[in-house]
Amino acid sequence: MAATQPFNDKTAYWDVPWEASYGYPQARKVGNEICISGQFNHDEDGNLVAPALLDSDGKPSDFSSMGEQMRCAYDNIAKLLALYGATLEDVVEETLYVLDMDAAFAVVGNVRKAAYGNERPQCASNIIGVSRLAQRAQLIEIVCKAVIGARND
């Protein structure tokens, strides 16, 4: 399933189970601003891409898939933005929530530059270490805000 706008052109969904159980859209447009809910390493069917290996307590034990998970999250953001005629170039602020700061810093520069297609992506960026994310095998989640037309400013 692809990202869709089943209720109106202001909100977007993946139609994955956690949207209904938590009760939220993946994106919401107000005026020329688009707020993107936390995106992570899932495909369009809700299956995790490059899930982290878990230890016996159900906690990630290997952070080597951080880059692949990050690329997937940026791909999901790009697909949602496209529903509104926007691109990653319209993103003005992002926050990355990561389980391991060292693993994130090892890949974030190259992954961000590739995703934005720019050596110096033109958006404010925050990176925050957290102890847990929604899916146990998830290492990163990215939230962002875009302004349609920002790429031309």
Compute the CA torsion angle 23, 37, 81, 135 (nearest 10 deg). Answer: -90
DSSP code at position 150: G
Q: Mean pLDDT, to the nearest integer, of 36-61?
A: 94
Query: In the numeric block, which tokens belong to residue 123?
Result: 């958006």
Q: Quick one: pLDDT at residue 93?
A: 98
pTM: 0.94
> Residues 80-125: pLDDT tens digits?
999 999 999 999 999 999 999 999 999 999 999 999 999 999 999 9
Rounded distance, CA 74 to CA 116, Å? 9
Query: In the numeric block, which tokens belong to residue 59?
Result: 């906690």
Tell me: pLDDT of 1 over 70. no
Query: Please, what is the average pLDDT of the chain?
Result: 93
**Choice between 17 and 29, residue whose per-residue pLDDT is larger:** 29
- How many CA atoms does the CB half-sphere of 20 hold within 13 Å? 4
Say whether 114 sits in a helix, a strand or coil: helix
Tell me: pLDDT of 6 over 70. no
Nearest by Cα to 48 from 134, 113, 145: 134
Q: Domains of the chain (ranges plus CATH)?
A: 11-152 (3.30.1330.40)
